[in-house]
Amino acid sequence: MKLYAKYFSMHIKSQMQYKLSFFFTCTGQFLVAFATFLSIHFLFARFDSVGGFTYEEVLICFAVMIMAFSLSELIGRGFDRFPILLGNGGFDRIMVRPRNVVFQVLASQVEFSRLGRFIQAVVVLAFALPRSGIDWTWDKILTLIFMIVCGAFLFFGLFVIYAAFTFFTLEGLEFMNILTDGGREHGRLPFSVYGDGVLKFLTYVVPLALVQYYPLLYLTGRTEDMRYMFVPILALLFLIPCRAFFKLGMRKYKSTGS
Amino acid sequence: MIPARGGLRSPYLALFRIRFTHSLQYRAAALAGFATQFAWGFMYILAFIAFYESNPHSFPMTLPQTVSYIWLQQAFMSFFFIWFYDNSIFSAVESGEIAYELARPMDLYARWFSQTSANRLAAGALRCLPLLVVAIVIPAPFRLVLPTEGTRILLFFASMFLAMGVVVSLTMLVYISAFSTINSMGTRIVVGVAADFLAGGYLPIPFFPDVLRFAVELSPFGAMQNMPLRIFSGHLYGEAMMQGLALQVFWLFALLLIGRILMKRALRRVVVQGG
């Protein structure tokens, strides 16, 4: 942990050397999220609700997913850029060091410009929370925190799977982006909106709905069942197969030789 | 050194061909891209269906029109989205490599224009076909409905051609701005996001609030993906369609002219970076 803190401050320092570039990437992240927000806003100028959810409820969804995603991207960017690490032989160097591999990949990159996206989500959340008509008792606040934090872990797991695929293909696989970027983009609407098939898939196969739809039901008072509050924690089980898959990939790994 | 007549345009065509075949090499990437875009399009359609069901009367297009719009947008993504920049141009300007380009007996504007168009066309050429084929055979309400009249299809292709011209000539302005900014990242990002939003890349323009919709439809952004996609889906027809096409021609020539002038001015005072 102490070592990670050292890496962390090192990354801050190095990225702050290029302040202008950092600022622009940050702004870019903010703007992309803002454009998505605007399109939701325009849609709800026309429609009162979607799938039974109101504007404010959808905004909570949107903000939670973006926060979860940008947090995991900030920390887990090393896995997102894993194809590069494999391609340039950086991973070989990691393997020979006497430290945990996952830790080193994590520490290899911290992407602070993702804060731009995070800030946009904070603004939206600050707008939506008081207007949502939710009575903010401690259990609701806790549910919200569970959604964001467990969501971040879940996205992180998806990045790890993406990285693990690279062991077999040596290239980044674009189709994973439907789960990572797609999870963020389409997660702006509660997953039930997309119909039963999608909801089942996102409950049992890639449990994104566990950090979004089910706790949202409790948050908005659609169910009184306290169990829904802890459903996001269940989603953490997904990290076990992610880790296993990464381990499997590592055993199969042959260096690219460069 | 004046090339023979007929050979006048050939270096740009040759460059176009080289770039095109170069981009066609990435077949596996194209296949993965197809699967991804299919899934994205499918999710967007499901979302629109949900909005449609919540209140069909507020829907500015019919559902099949919206579905066609989304499939075509996914299929021809690389033709229409501004963020699909050619980064080698930016790095050429920023690294000073541009000096070599300027030494060549080629018109830089035309060179960049053909290079960018080729990249876009090649990236789309491989992806669009499988996506369109699948979208045509899947059952309703997800099916891509083909227009029945031949003229509509012809006008769609004409409009797509014009739209791509408008998109590329706008990208040219961003490239040219790199001459005066040294670090073009800011312009790149802001123009990219704003233009793609206004062009209907995040949400089709008919879904915009009325005032904004009116303004955007007259602007160059309305002359981009908005036109061909709505012509194909049958949302634009008759007089409105003809006006739109005329507007596309207007913006294409206006942007080409502006780009040419700005390029000339930028090159007159170009400072080559680095040694």
Query: Residue B54 is nearest to which of A38, A47, A195, comparing CB atoms?
Result: A47
Q: What angle do the packed helices A138-169 and A55-80 form, to 10 degrees?
A: 40
- Structural domain boundaries enclosing B26: 10-268
Which DSSP state fits B206? G
Q: How does pLDDT run across B165-186, given as a tens digit for each residue? A: 999 999 999 999 888 876 777 8
- Of A104-108, A128-132, B197-201, least confident by mean pLDDT is A104-108
The H or E element spanning position A49 is: strand A49-50
Q: Is residue B273 part of a domain?
A: no
Which DSSP state fits B145? P
Interface test with A, best of B26, B193, B212 (most A CBs within 10 A): B193
Query: Residue B207 is nearest to which of A28, A34, A42, comparing CB atoms?
Result: A42
Write out the residues of chain A at the interface with chain B, using a CB-CB cutoff of 8 A. Answer: 20-21, 24-25, 27-28, 31-32, 34-36, 38-39, 42-43, 45-51, 171, 173-175, 177-178, 182, 185-186, 189, 193-195, 198
Q: How does pLDDT run across B47-82, given as a tens digit for each residue? A: 999 999 999 999 999 999 999 999 999 999 889 999
Amino acid B106: pLDDT: 83
Q: Tell me chain A's radius of gyration from C-alpha atoms.
A: 19
Amino acid B6: pLDDT: 47
Query: Residue B32 is nearest to which of A27, A38, A173, comparing CB atoms?
Result: A173
| CA separation, residue A14 to residues A8, A17, A22, A116, A117 (Å) | 10, 5, 10, 18, 20
> In 10 A of CB B147, how many CB atoms?
17
Write out the residues of chain B at the interface with chain A, using a CB-CB cutoff of 8 A. Answer: 28-29, 32-33, 35-36, 39-40, 43, 46-47, 50-51, 54-55, 58-60, 183, 185-186, 189-190, 192-194, 196-197, 202-203, 207-209
Three-state DSSP string of A144-206: HHHHHHHHHHHHHHHHHHHHHHHHHHCCCCHHHHHCCHHHHHHCCCCHHHHCHHHHHHHHHHC
Alpha carbon A189 to chain centroid, angstroms: 15
Q: Which residue of A has its CA nearest to B200?
A: A39
Q: How does pLDDT run across B112-164, given as a tens digit for each residue? A: 999 899 889 887 877 788 899 999 999 988 999 888 888 999 999 999 999 99
Indicate whether A170 pLDDT > 70: no
Three-class SS state of B90 = helix
pLDDT, mean over chain B = 87
Q: Which residue of B has its CA nearest to A190?
A: B47
Q: Is residue B247 part of a domain?
A: yes
- CA–CA–CA angle A120, A74, B77 (5° rounding): 65
Mean pLDDT computed over A203-212: 95
In single-letter form, the type of residue at position A112 comes to F
What residue segments make up the domains of chain A, in order of their start?
Answer: 22-252
User: From CA B241, how far away is CA B230, in angstroms rounded?
Assistant: 9
List of long-range contacts for B255-261, beta carbons under 8 Å, 24+ apart:
B255/B166, B255/B169, B255/B170, B255/B172, B255/B173, B255/B220, B256/B165, B256/B169, B258/B173, B259/B109, B259/B169, B259/B172, B259/B173, B259/B176, B260/B109
Instruction: Work out how many domains chain B is built from and give that number.
Output: 1
Interface test with B, best of A19, A23, A24 (most B CBs within 10 A): A24
Supply the pTM of this predicted model.
0.88
